[in-house]
């Protein structure tokens, strides 16, 4: 298991496969105010690839090509935020996508706990630390603890997707989940365009 850290973009020629887990670290939760700092990715092989994004950076050719590659499924946990953050920074829309939080909400209706740490503990018997969740991701050099934390957010999403798919199939909700995944990039765009808290399907 290795964790590689790059500046500004993924290296040329890096192949991560047909299903890639992605997560983002930002300076806060407002994409218009808080800049994107790190994008971490994993092809499901136990290795993580972290890209540090420079302040004011608006291009990442290799990363954006991956985001927009229709032959590569992008896995997220709460993809709504990550998709919006990268769209706001680079103008690239991630598609097609899968979100483990959405899948969890559709089938784990016996609980209101859908955070990644809880999901991994219950479904895969894996414990991850969230201690570095609130830290300075805009620092020029990441600490070893930050790298380990960022990696943990993507290393297990492939296995988690497999486990959630079993439940989605069992409960007959795979088609609903897929429709939600298909809409997710537009949901992220609506957030950026000014409808973050508005239910556009509501009567009033």
20-79: pLDDT as tens digits: 999 999 999 999 999 999 999 999 999 999 999 999 999 999 999 999 999 999 999 999
Tokens of 201: 């399907």
Predicted structure pTM score: 0.95
C-alpha–C-alpha distance, residues 26 and 181, integer Å: 23
> To 10 degrees, the CA torsion angle through 198, 37, 131, 84?
20
Query: Alpha-carbon torsion 30, 127, 156, 53, what sign?
Result: positive
Residue 7 bridge partners (DSSP): 52
Name the DSSP class of 171. T
Q: What domains can be seen in the chain, in order of their start residue?
A: 3-193 (3.30.420.10)
Instruction: Give, for 39, the enclosing helix (H) or strand (E).
Output: strand 36-42
Answer whether residue 134 shows pLDDT above 80: no
């Amino acid at each position: 298991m290795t964790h590689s850290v790059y500046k500004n973009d993924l290296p040329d020629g890096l192949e991560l496969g047909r299903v890639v887990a992605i997560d983002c670290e930002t300076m806060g939760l407002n994409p218009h105010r808080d800049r994107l700092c790190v994008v971490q990715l994993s092809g499901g092989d136990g290795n993580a690839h972290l890209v540090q994004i420079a302040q004011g950076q608006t291009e990442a050719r290799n990363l954006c090509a991956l985001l927009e590659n229709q032959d590569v499924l992008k896995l997220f946990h709460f993809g709504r935020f990550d998709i919006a953050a990268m769209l706001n920074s680079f103008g690239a829309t991630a598609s097609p996508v899968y979100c483990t939080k959405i899948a969890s909400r559709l089938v784990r209706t016996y609980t209101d706990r859908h955070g990644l740490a809880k999901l991994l503990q219950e479904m895969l018997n894996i414990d991850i630390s969230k201690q570095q969740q609130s830290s300075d991701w805009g620092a020029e050099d990441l600490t070893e603890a930050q790298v380990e934390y960022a990696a943990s957010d993507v290393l297990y999403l492939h296995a988690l997707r497999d486990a959630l798919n079993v439940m989605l199939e069992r409960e007959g909700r795979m088609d609903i989940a897929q429709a939600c995944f298909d809409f997710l990039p537009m949901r992220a765009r609506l957030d950026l365009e000014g409808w973050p808290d508005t239910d556009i399907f509501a009567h009033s």
